[in-house]
Amino acid sequence: MDNLRYDAFNLIASGCGTGKSRFCSKELLSQLPNVNPYEVLYLTSRSITVDQMVKDESLDKFYADKLSLVQYWNSSDSVNEQDLSEISRCGIQVMTYDKIINILVNQNNDGCKTLGKIKVVIVDECHTLFCDSFINNIEVLKVWIRDMVCEGEKLFIGLTATPGIVQYYKAQWGVPVRRINKEILVQYKAKQLICTDFNTIPYLVATNHFEGKTLVMCKSIKDCLDLQSKLSNAAVMVSKQNSKYYTKELNEIRNYIVENRTLPDTFVYVNSEKGTRERRPLDILISTSTLREGFTLLPQSGVKNVICCYTDEMNITQFVGRCRFNIENLVVADIYHRSDNLKSNTYFGKCEQDYQAFVHNFENIKWFNSISHLVSHSWEDTQRVVLGKDERRFIDYINTHWLVPIGCSCKDSEKYRIYKEEDKKAIVDMAFECDLFRTARDDLTFNRVVRMLKETLGYEVVSGRLRFQSEQYTYKLVLSYDGTEPKENLIYL
């Protein structure tokens, strides 16, 4: 506590799961005897964080209708004795960034100082101040923090596992940032780092490169839905504030995570085009950045793989940090968005440039060094798996039309049996159209395509016999990866 100063933004940098939040909720007030719990604000970026944190009896969830509490904070004399009695029993108030922004913008009292009686402000996931531009009026909060630090009457404590982005923007922010600890403590790591691109993800997943469950963070809802359409047993999670895409089916998943810190075994898949609902196994959870912070998973969740479609160390570190245990694979999947052109001179643009330099030449290790604390091997053991456009097109076709979903029953798998001549011809035509064979179309056979599926792309293809309309047929079923290493002649940068 002797290192904390009122004239600076005190930055505590420590890895996810190392006890930053616990220190602030359990130990901080014991070292500040003149501060009452209800005079402390705990700000966090995600509502799911709030729902998990308030299970701690020393923390209270702030509700927007707590007007008497806001009036008290605003140094108003209009708070009656009954309200004061209730306020005195309140714990540390936990709220999302938008809640304090609403107070700063809309809940000012004439002649009073907004939040004047607040003595301590804990800014959890403080990197959010510089990366979540979608939060309305986030600049209001940044300016308020700057002004309050200048006054030196409140203690500001910032918590993050990724201080790099705060350091990058501190001069622009105009706030003195005081780093409390120099080294970042990290508890959990990934066994293997894989560099790929967004379009190769379905191949890696469908061919069963990964055991266990998988978390994926995409840059947009459109990317989430696009990826879900190419995978089986995959659910998409978006922000609870998104009225268009957040549904009661997603609420079931979210509540399960909050209550149990694991993933549910199943989810309800809604096909809006067909108007059908189907309960499926939940093997892959795809999300926007809404799950970048705020929730934690325990080992019994079964998650062993984390795929991040951002290339900067902040997003990667935060998303991997959802797992409070070592994982098997950390996958960084690059994807280009048109808006990325506007970020070339930003923190994210610099990270992307470093990533591209590393992917095309592993000896350019600046990017690797920024996330090396998350993996258990050196830069030399990083894997690159990137498919060309034609290979991706054929794989997407197989995955969409013929790949038997994991957990599919024998009866349901019957529709994936390949035995009709027109189906065989369609598969061969697609392989030829994708230019996967250097041969004339008439010389390309179905059996040759099947060999390519098994020996090059790594799918498991099994055979069986069936009777249809008094005729006996041999059919093929395309299953997942067979456990051997795929050949690399179709994998390139």
Same domain, 393 and 376: no
Tokens 């359990």 — which residue? Answer: 26
122, pLDDT greater than 90? yes
How crowded is residue 349: how many other Cβ atoms within 10 Å of its Cβ? 15
Q: What is the pLDDT of residues 427-486, one digit of tens each?
A: 999 999 888 887 888 889 999 999 888 877 878 899 998 887 778 889 999 987 544 444
Return the pLDDT at 340.
63
**Mean pLDDT for the stretch of residues 362-386:** 90
pLDDT over 90, % of the chain: 41
**Is 272 found in the same domain as 333?**
yes
- Straight-line distance from the first to the last Cα atom of the chain, in angstroms, rounded to the nearest whole number: 51
Q: What is the CATH number of the domain that holds 410?
A: 3.90.1150
Both 159 and 284 in one domain: the answer is no
Whether 64 shows a pLDDT value over 80: the answer reads no
Q: What confidence score (pLDDT) does residue 488 get?
A: 41
Question: Are 461 and 371 members of one domain?
Answer: no
Q: What is the CATH number of the domain that holds 217?
A: 3.40.50.300
Question: Cβ-count burial of 471 within 10 angstroms (0-12 exposed, 13-18 middle, 19+ buried)?
Answer: exposed
88 and 107: one domain?
yes
Does a structural domain hold residue 491? Answer: no
- pLDDT score of 415 more than 50: yes
Say whether pLDDT at 222 is over 80. Answer: yes
User: Domain tally for the chain?
Assistant: 3
Last residue of a domain, one of 358, 384, 410: 384
Are 4 and 157 in contact by the 8 Å Cβ rule? The answer is: yes
Tokens of 285: 């959870």
Tens digits of per-residue pLDDT, 262-320?
Answer: 999 999 998 877 778 889 999 999 999 888 887 789 999 999 999 999 999 999 998 99
Express each pLDDT in 310-350 by its tens digit: 999 999 998 998 898 999 999 999 987 766 655 667 888 88
Of 179, 214, 244, the residue at which a domain comes to its end is 179
Q: Are residues 170 and 245 in the same domain?
A: no
Over range 234-253, report the average pLDDT.
89
Same domain? For 208 and 154 the reply is no
In a domain, 406, yes or no: yes
Amino acid present at 343 = K
The residue ranking higher by pLDDT, 344 or 213, is 213
pLDDT at 487: 41
In a domain, 488, yes or no: no
d(CA 163, CA 142): 16
CA 430 to chain centre: 34
pLDDT of res. 483: 40
Same domain, 226 and 345: yes
Give a yes or no: residue 489 inside a domain.
Answer: no
Residue that wins the pLDDT comparison between 141 and 440: 141
Position 143 scores a pLDDT of: 95
| Structural domain includes residue 1 | no
Mean pLDDT of 61-86: 79
Q: Which of 184, 183, 105, 130 shows the shortest CA–CA distance to 9?
A: 130
Please check whether residue 285 lies inside any domain of the structure. Answer: yes
- Please give the share of the chain, as a percent, with pLDDT higher than 70: 91
Kindly tell me if the per-residue pLDDT of 107 is higher than 70.
yes
**Cα-only R_g, the chain:** 26
Is 446 part of any domain?
Answer: yes
Query: What whole-number distance in Å separates Cα of residue 247 and Cα of residue 138?
Result: 26
pLDDT at 138: 93
pLDDT at 339: 64
- Residue of 377, 374, 318 lying closest to 163 (CA atoms): 318
CA atoms within 13 A of residue 64's CA, in its CB half-sphere:
11
- Kindly report the backbone phi and psi dihedral angles of residue 285, in degrees, each rounded to the nearest multiple of 5, phi listed first: -115, 115
Task: Collect all residues with Cβ–Cβ distance below 8 Å to 441 and sequence separation of at least 6.
Answer: 429, 432
Residues 200 and 303 in one domain: yes
Supply the range of the domain harboring residue 54: 9-179
Q: Are 326 and 77 in contact (CB under 8 A)?
A: no
Q: Is residue 493 part of a domain?
A: no
Across all residues in the chain, what is the average pLDDT? Answer: 85
The pLDDT of residue 489 is: 36
Q: Are residues 19 and 85 in the same domain?
A: yes
Q: Are residues 347 and 398 in the same domain?
A: no
> How big is the CA angle at 130 (ends 36 and 308), to the nearest 5 degrees?
110
Long-range Cβ contact pairs of 53-59 (< 8 A, separation 24 or more):
53/21, 53/25, 53/94, 54/94, 56/25, 56/26, 57/91, 58/25, 58/26, 58/91, 58/92, 59/25, 59/91, 59/92, 59/94
Mean pLDDT, range 36-58, rounded to an integer: 82
- 186 pLDDT exceeds 80? no
* Res 288: pLDDT: 92
State mean pLDDT over 129-150.
91
Task: Using DSSP bridges, classify how beta strands 120-123 and 155-160 pair: parallel, antiparallel or unpaired.
Answer: parallel
What pLDDT, on a 0 to 100 scale, did the predictor assign at position 133?
Answer: 77
398 and 373 inside one domain: no
Cα 334 to Cα 149: distance, rounded to the nearest angstrom: 38
